[in-house]
Amino acid sequence: MKSTQQNMTQTRRFTGMKKLTNTLLLASALLATYGANAGFQVSGTQLLDGNGNSFVMRGVNHAHAWYTNRTQQALADIASVEANTVRVVLADGQQWTRTSATEVANIIQWAKNNKLIAVLEVHDVTGSGEQGSAGTLYNATSYWIDIASTLQGQEDYVIINIANEPFGNGVPESSWIDGHIQAIQRIRNAGLTHTLMIDAANWGQDWQEVMLDNASTVAAADPRNNTMFSVHMYEVYQSRAKIEGYVSNFLSTHNLPLIVGEFGADHYGNNVDEDSILAVAEQYNIGYLGWSWSGNSSEVASLDIVNNWNVNSLSTWGDRLINGTNGIRATAEIASVFDGGGNSSSSVSSSSSSSVASSTPSSSSSSTSGGEQCNWYGTLYPLCTTTQSGWGWEQNRSCIARSNCSSQPAPYGIVGGGTASSSAPSSSSSSSVASSSSSSSSPASSSSSSATSGSSSCTYVVTNQWGNGFTGAIRITNKGNSAINGWSVNWNYTDGSRVTNSWNATVSGSNPYSASNVGWNAEIQPGQTVEFGFQGTKNSAQASVPTVSGSVCN
């Protein structure tokens, strides 16, 4: 969102895809200069918190830089409406009074006190290249380096959004690419290991699709493979087709996390399809942060979530965002670093753990010989064959270098095959990740099998569980020689378990359940695996592992 002091030149012209610039590939040895990952970590399209659990942002923006005396109470009020994240406007002194390191430390502590993850952003660069008063991305990056000692140690609780809407309209895409590559490198060289967030071009709305075309190029500059992206959805996004098209295209093209970092119900009197933004965010399991808590100027006063800073007086927009379908109260979950929840192994006692059964990799996947895969915090990925360190992209899918996977603590690491890492179990070892697969080798007490003809397989996996709840996933692997075009699967719980929400598939029914592909994951090439996830309730100590059926499973 542009500050209330700025006049924004909006345009709705769309252009075709831009040519990709040459990808910057850093030497893999650079990763070794950094210690073990701390705090939040990017894993495919997911953002994992410090316990290794998937975290989906559901929250709001707060303009601290202009309302410094409101922040402490505002964060308490934001938490009271059940948000799990607050994006906080800071200033580096290029346009507005510099937010001091002491202020930043207070903001972080106030957020932690209220169990809010803090996304911190520098606002002074907004619209650079078009807005004459805007600062530079280089100077914004220098701000993070200057306050590095305040940020270090807070990796579990803070995400660094390097700069708000750092480029306006008509700026060469190379400026967005090269500027962010330089920013990432400088921040990493300063020793900051936090997850980094990059805003889209075109005042954040990316109507020229600069970020959509080039996110992978920028992400490749991060030796920690820990960069995510944010698009701001205002009047460019007036239809479900436009919103879903952007989100699905980004996720399928880049396999990186995306959030809607700002949006509202309108913008300068122009309509925004907020209902579709909320629905698409829930369907694709991506985060969203509404703009903004309070204090917007008169021409955009409708974007105030609460009236006059009063949490008991929600605006029409605020009521929709907080209390409506797919809104904050219905979908937000507090980060597990606040509630004592561990990763999927520590959430369940070892005495009641289920067995791991790896989903069957195809012979053309990038897994190493013997069927080995990487159990990365409860999600299975292929091991890279050529990438020596960190995350890679081989056979059109994400993979993890053997060295990185084997360094993970038990029960994670390399699973399956004839040998296993000393830090991880083999396919018959104890873990909290339970599965049923057409090729499962786990005992009958913890899994069941569906028939297979060798052309494809379906695997049901329990990725986490607690009390009366669980999260799970179904993975469909194409083991044949031709592409699968469109798929659907079915499953049924016999113990009273029920699905409450899902992502990356269209799920219907109320036990039995059916799921079918969404647009971007309909096609499964030979050797590829697609996955969709869900959350549910259970009535027993251990989440059940039902058999998955459907023509694609045979």
Residues identified as active-site: 165, 262
Q: Where are the beta strands (DSSP E) in 430-497?
A: 430-431, 434-437, 456-466, 469-478, 484-485, 488-491
Find the helix or strand (DSSP H, E) in which 503 lies: strand 498-503
Residue 95's contacts (CB-CB under 8 Å, 6 or more residues apart) are 3, 123, 124, 133, 134, 135
In angstroms, the CA 214 to CA 173 distance is 9
For residues 239 and 275, is the Cβ–Cβ distance under 8 A? no
Q: What angle do CA 228, 33, 164 make, to 5 degrees?
A: 25
**DSSP 8-class letter at 272:** -
In angstroms, the CA 326 to CA 244 distance is 15
In angstroms, the CA 367 to CA 362 distance is 8
Taking each helix axis as running N to C, give the angle between helix 173-189 and helix 137-146, from 0 to 180 degrees, rounded to the nearest 10.
10
In angstroms, the CA 416 to CA 310 distance is 55
HSE at residue 411, side-chain half, CA atoms within 13 A, is 29
- CA distances 493 to 259, 471, 501, 546, Å, are 32, 14, 15, 6
Task: Write down how long the chain is.
Answer: 554
Q: What are the DSSP calls for 152-216, one per residue? A: TT-TTTEEEE--SS---TT--HHHHHHHHHHHHHHHHHTT--SPEEEE-TTTTT-TT-HHHHHHH
Q: Phi/psi of residue 128, each to 5°? A: -60, 150
In angstroms, the CA 278 to CA 243 distance is 10
Instruction: Report the candidate in 196, 193, 198 with the shortest Cα–Cα distance to residue 178.
Output: 198
In angstroms, the CA 50 to CA 342 distance is 9
**DSSP 8-class letter at 383:** B
